[in-house]
Amino acid sequence: MFKHILRTLGIGAVAFALATNLASASPDKPVIGIVVKIGGIPWFNAMEQGIKKRADQLGVKAFMIGPTSADPALQVRAIEDLIARHVDVIGVVPNDAQVLEPVLQRARAAGIKVITHESPKQQNVDWDFELASAKGFGEAYGKRLGEALGGKGEYAVFVGSLTVPLHNAWADAAIAYIKANYPGMKLVGDRYGVAEDVDASRKTALDLMRAHPDLKGILAFGSQGPIGAARAVDEQGAKGKVLVLGPFSPGQGRRLVHDGVLTGGYMWNPELAGEVFVTLGTMVAKGEPIKDGTNIPGLGVVHPDGHNLIVNELVDLNAQTVDALAKTGL
């Protein structure tokens, strides 16, 4: 029966057990549960390392729950479980911001603080933090692709899903930048919500290359999108003909970068994001003020915009940097 419950929730047994055992909170030692998009992939494995590291440093209880697939319903169930266990703080990296609004509202009504990441337009939160501004991140990709293609050719855009606000904000910024600065480039379709699934990204890239022989580039916003698209380029023998750019785990993508089928991109450090979840969670649980000029480890001096804390901590991914980044465990 217990195993059946775990499968239904889509939560790993270890994380579930941690959530159960860590439910005894205290003002001096808050309990922080963080629900990510999907478990078992390098990006969120690195985030979990950051969560554990910072929790040890601060002497608080914090743990990560990674659903077995990028299904918003699984995130809802995980959050409901955390509410039932009366944790002090719930952190979330949403798959679907709108789907989560009702359950996050219930969490806050229960007196639980809510922090999100990669979801700056989330409503029922105390704080959302970003390690890159949406406009700056998207424009950096638009500029890099435009320069690489000499301002000409067809390109496609992948996002984690059509309901992930941040991915779509990046896409909006990249597309707008390309339209304004590289009028010789043409967007194929609108965008494809496959970039949190390596197999779906691979298949979509293969389909696009077959349907659009003049396709020259793919911008993939989502950690699995660049991997899947690069594998498709490799299979089609399109190295150097179709460029793939996007944020990815260096350890997962380093071979593809050195093989020349994954061009590179920009990212932020997910381990640092994990640390910030715990730092910020501890601050809000203890009632510490967060205002203009507050120095938050991992974010630096912040200038809140509503409930958003946005800084720019971009890391360049390329053949010269990917090995060193991979060695850090990313």
Contacts of 216 (CB under 8 A, 6+ apart): 149, 152, 153, 154, 155, 241, 242, 243
- On whether both 142 and 69 belong to a single domain, the answer is no
Would the pLDDT of 182 be above 80?
yes
Give me the domain span that covers residue 49. 2-132+269-313
Find out whether 50 and 271 touch, Cβ atoms under 8 Å: yes
**Comparison of pLDDT for 97 and 18, the residue scoring more:** 97
Find out whether 100 and 166 touch, Cβ atoms under 8 Å: no
pLDDT, tens digit, for every residue of 234-268?
A: 999 999 999 999 999 899 999 999 999 999 999 88
pLDDT for 93 equals 96
Residue type, 106: R
- On whether both 144 and 217 belong to a single domain, the answer is yes
For the stretch 211-240, what's the b/e string if a residue is b when 16 or more beta carbons lie within 10 angstroms of its beta carbon?
ebeebbbbbbbbbbbbbbbbbbbbeeebee
- On whether both 141 and 126 belong to a single domain, the answer is no
Query: Is 100 part of any domain?
Result: yes
pLDDT for 5 equals 34
- On whether both 144 and 257 belong to a single domain, the answer is yes
Phi, psi of 252 (to 5 degrees): -75, -30
pLDDT, tens digit, for every residue of 51-110?
A: 999 999 999 999 999 999 989 999 999 999 999 999 999 999 999 999 999 999 999 999
- On whether both 118 and 151 belong to a single domain, the answer is no
- The CATH number covering residue 256 comes to 3.40.50.2300
Query: Is 21 part of any domain?
Result: yes
Give me the chain's average pLDDT, please. Answer: 91
The answer to which of 192-196, 273-277, 311-315 has the lowest mean pLDDT is: 311-315
Question: 0.95 cut: is pTM over it?
Answer: no
Q: Look-up: residue for tokens 């990560």? A: 64
Cα of first residue to Cα of last residue in the chain, in angstroms, is 36
Q: Look-up: residue for tokens 């967007």? A: 187
Of 26, 37, 23, 106, give the one whose Cα is nearest residue 65. Answer: 37
* Residue 105 token pair: 């509202």
Of 273, 259, 272, 251, give the one whose Cα is nearest residue 317. Answer: 251
Query: Is 326 part of any domain?
Result: no
If one counts the domains in the chain, the total is: 2
- On whether both 171 and 98 belong to a single domain, the answer is no
- Identify the band that residue 3 occupies on the pLDDT scale cut at 50, 70 and 90: very low
The sign of the torsion formed by the CA atoms of 103, 105, 108, 109 equals negative
How far is Cα 293 from Cα 107, in angstroms, rounded to an integer?
Answer: 28
Task: Give the three-state DSSP class for 10.
Answer: coil
pLDDT, tens digit, for every residue of 137-172?
A: 999 999 999 999 999 999 999 999 998 888 999 999
pLDDT for 166 equals 86
Contacts of 33 (CB under 8 A, 6+ apart): 19, 22, 62, 63, 65, 82, 85, 87, 89, 90, 91
Strand blocks (E) in the chain? 31-35, 61-65, 89-92, 113-117, 127-130, 153-159, 185-187, 192-193, 215-221, 243-245, 265-267, 295-296, 300-301, 308-310, 315-317
How far is Cα 279 from Cα 288, in angstroms, rounded to an integer?
Answer: 11
pLDDT for 9 equals 44
- On whether both 18 and 61 belong to a single domain, the answer is yes
How far is Cα 289 from Cα 2, in angstroms, rounded to an integer?
Answer: 41
Of 37, 56, 18, give the one whose Cα is nearest residue 282. Answer: 56
